[in-house]
Amino acid sequence: MATSPLSRRGDLLDPEVLAALGPLDLLARRVVSGFLLGMHRSARHGLSGEFAELRPYRPGDDLRQVDWRMVGRSDRFFVKQFDEDTHLGAYLLLDVSASMEWSSRPDDLPTKLWYGRLLTAAFGLLLFRQGDRVGFGPFDEEVREWLPARGGGRHESRFLRRVAEVEAGGRSGASLPLRESALRLRRAGMVILVSDLLMDPGETASALRYLAHRGHQVIAVHLLDPGERELEGSGLRRFRDPETGDEVRVEVRAVREAYRRSVTEAVEEWRRALVPSGIDYLQVDTSEPFAPALRALLRSRSRR
């Protein structure tokens, strides 16, 4: 008998299944709660710095940080919070340019923007669970609106609402938004770029390296629709750039191999430009579940 999607962990569900289950805020909470449920231990949290305060235990917190003395007194679980962690700020920059509103299989596979919104929301919730302050900046060539990096339940709800509301449009360019995010972080924090990276690689890589040079933990999440990795079909087909409107007609079989090489070279170019500078470069296929990307985020977070 097939297992119902309602009984499975959200982080392990395929995107096309998740998309039919509800609004973004509920999906993000389901993805994160399922992910934390499946973890044997959380990212290392509060292992350095001076003790600052206690906060209620959340699923996924490191049991080594539980204040057992308080458990004995109150019969409730509290976690020790440390100064270094309470002041970590993170900005999530989501590409909302026109190219993100695309899917190679629109009848069943969500667009890159849908996937990016849910991934951004899940990343934010995971960082909130770590006690971090989270900010948000949707951008095309510039940031449309900055949501400051803050903590707390009210801000968490506001964050989820803003992520769910953004729509695609305009040309993409991450250089200015990335450099602006550096001005908003008063001390070393985290900047996460979620994008299909269909933009100038030189300017974008330079801006990402600038952030890393200033001491920030930088993650570049490269969203790839499966139809961007491999040209499918045959015969004469028309391809249109959603940002410029330019069109080209090609015989698919004649260019398939050259296209495959170009995609591989582009991915390797991003990797070579970013990884040697200490930037985490993460490829995410928009047809795959969210668990691997969340694990990668926690690995990066644990290095702070």
Give the long-range contacts of residues 26-32, CB within 8 A, separation 24 or more.
27/118, 27/121, 28/118, 28/121, 28/122, 28/124, 28/125, 28/160, 29/125, 31/118, 31/122, 31/290, 31/294, 32/122, 32/125, 32/126, 32/129, 32/294
Q: Distance between CA atoms of 142 and 93, rounded to whole angstroms?
A: 11
Q: How confident is the model at residue 46 (pLDDT cuts 50, 70, 90)?
A: very low
In terms of domains, do 138 and 271 share one? yes
**What pLDDT score was predicted for residue 63?**
66
Domain boundary, last residue among 48, 66, 86: 86
Instruction: Please provide the average confidence, as pLDDT, over all residues in the chain.
Output: 85
pLDDT at 39 over 80: no
* Domain-terminating residue out of 25, 53, 86: 86
Q: Give the domain CATH number at 236.
A: 3.40.50.410
Q: How many domains does the chain have?
A: 2
Question: What's the pLDDT at 43?
Answer: 41
Structure tokens at 167: 């729509």
Note whether 70 and 95 are same-domain residues. no
Q: Give me the pLDDT at residue 97, please.
A: 96
pLDDT by residue (tens digit) across 219-249?
999 999 999 987 776 666 666 666 676 777 7
Q: Is 193 exposed, middle or buried (0-12, 13-18, 19+ CB in 10 A)?
A: buried
Residue 85 has what pLDDT? 47
Q: What is the pLDDT of residues 106-129, one digit of tens each?
A: 999 999 999 999 999 999 999 998
Report which of 231, 235, 207, 239 is spatially closest to residue 220, judged by C-alpha positions: 207
Give the lowest-confidence range in 56-60, 133-137, 148-152, 261-265. 56-60
pLDDT for 207 equals 96
**Same domain, yes or no: 58 and 198:** no
Q: Which of 53, 86, 119 is the last residue of a domain?
A: 86
Say if 7 falls within a structural domain.
no
Same domain, 140 and 287: yes
Residues 70 and 132 both lie in one domain: no
Instruction: Tell me the pLDDT tens digit for each residue of 242-293.
Output: 667 677 777 667 677 877 888 899 999 999 999 999 999 999 999 999 999 9
Which run of H or of E encompasses 220? strand 217-224
Give pTM, 2 decimals: 0.82
274 within some domain: yes
Q: Domain check: are 60 and 113 in the same one?
A: no
98, part of any domain: yes
Residues 184 and 264 in one domain: yes
Say whether both 123 and 258 belong to one domain.
Answer: yes
Write out the H or E segment, with its range, that includes residue 138. Answer: strand 133-139
Question: Residue 24 to residues 29, 67, 115, 116, 117: CA-CA distances in angstroms?
Answer: 9, 34, 10, 11, 8
What number is the average pLDDT over the span 52-73?
Answer: 66
247 and 291 share one domain:
yes
Name the residue with higher pLDDT: 30 or 182: 30
* Pair of tokens at residue 114: 């849908």
DSSP 60-95: T--GGGB-HHHHHHHSS-EEEEEHHHHT-EEEEEEE
Query: Are 116 and 168 members of one domain?
Result: yes
Residue 120 placed within a domain: yes
The answer to whether residues 49 and 174 belong to one domain is no
Both 51 and 194 in one domain: the answer is no
Among 73-87, 207-221, 248-262, top mean pLDDT goes to 207-221
Q: What is the CA angle 195-270-142, rounded to 5?
A: 35
Domain that holds residue 61: 40-86
- Which pLDDT belongs to residue 50? 42
| Structure tokens belonging to residue 299 | 């690995």
